[in-house]
Amino acid sequence: MRPIVIAANWKMHTTPADAGPLAAQIASRTNDPDVVRVICPPYVCLATVRDALAGTGVAVGAQNVHQDLAGAYTGEISAPMLAGLATWVILGHSERRRDFGETDELVNRKLTRAIEAHLRPILCVGEQLADREAGREAEAVERQLRGCLKGHDGGLLEAGLVIAYEPVWAIGTGRSATPANAASMSELIGRVLDETPLGVGRGTAHSVPVLYGGSVTSSNFGEFMTEPGVDGALVGGASLKPDEMAGIVARAGVTARARRDAAG
């Protein structure tokens, strides 16, 4: 059974002074052993959040890594630099693609670095509004996924690959895709995974969790978790609010136990 994952992406919010208390509060209010919980704070807060989450069962993730191991890249952070600070990493987030020009080829290289550094990757894919309005959303997501995974093999499965489907037009806009949209895209992602070298003979679609990301809140999340192909969420703005995170994780826990019982 695929794990249910709730990953919090704090983006460019919090400081070392307030990140620790916030992380500790969220951890105490989301104590559900059936849900994998991850908090991804800004780089400057990683150590503070790591210390605040010690012993809680909540993992720490970074929001990005550089594609090279070292070099003259002012302001960048390489995967080896995260040793002891994070065990997860978000890659290819739509805001990185949109605002910093990240390509599928670049994200592919970052995946390699993440695996080498034993970081569990959350690989983000998702269409722009123009793609959806033109009926090209499936084509766009398939192209991203194949480009990011090209040349990778079972090592990504062993590293615990997670895919996050995030329709770009629904991020930070207050709009969200429908559960049917997310289910359809999850099915597409599973098919593509099984057709790549990553999935040959491995039943990849049955082992890689697919998260939904796009203005997730405690009030709309339950609708997505009714879809068997949705295995959790990559949460943005709502992840900064303990009440919201408590509601989201509680609903995720209900789904995790229901699926476990159904599986016998």
Tens digit of each residue's pLDDT (9 = 90 or more) over 41-85: 999 999 999 999 999 999 999 999 999 999 999 999 999 999 999
pLDDT digits (tens, 9 = 90+) for 96-111: 998 999 999 999 999 9
Backbone phi, then psi, for 168, in 5-degree steps?
-60, -35
Indicate which residue of 93, 127, 137, 244 is catalytic: 93
Mean of pLDDT values over 231-250: 98
**Torsion, CA 86, CA 245, CA 92, CA 19, rounded to 10:** -50
Annotation says 93 is catalytic = yes
- pTM value? 0.95
pLDDT at 206 over 90: no
pLDDT at 200 over 90: no
Report d(CA 119, CA 110) in Å as an integer: 11
Is-contact 11 236, C-beta < 8 A? yes
Residue 264: both structure tokens together? 């016998």
Beta bridge partners of 234: 7
Annotation says 166 is catalytic = yes
For the chain, the domains span 4-263
Indicate which residue of 95, 166, 227, 244 is catalytic: 166
**Torsion, CA 237, CA 142, CA 66, CA 112, rounded to 10:** 130
Beta bridge partners of 225: none
Between CA 4 and CA 81, with CA 38 as vertex, the angle to 5 degrees is: 135
Q: What is the pLDDT of residue 127?
A: 93
pLDDT digits (tens, 9 = 90+) for 90-144: 999 999 998 999 999 999 999 999 999 999 999 999 998 888 889 999 999 999 9
Question: DSSP characters for 14-45?
Answer: --HHHHHHHHHHHHHH---TTEEEEEE--GGG
Report d(CA 75, CA 94) in Å as an integer: 20
CATH number belonging to the domain at 4-263, selected among 3.20.20.70, 3.10.290.10, 3.40.50.20, 3.30.70.20? 3.20.20.70
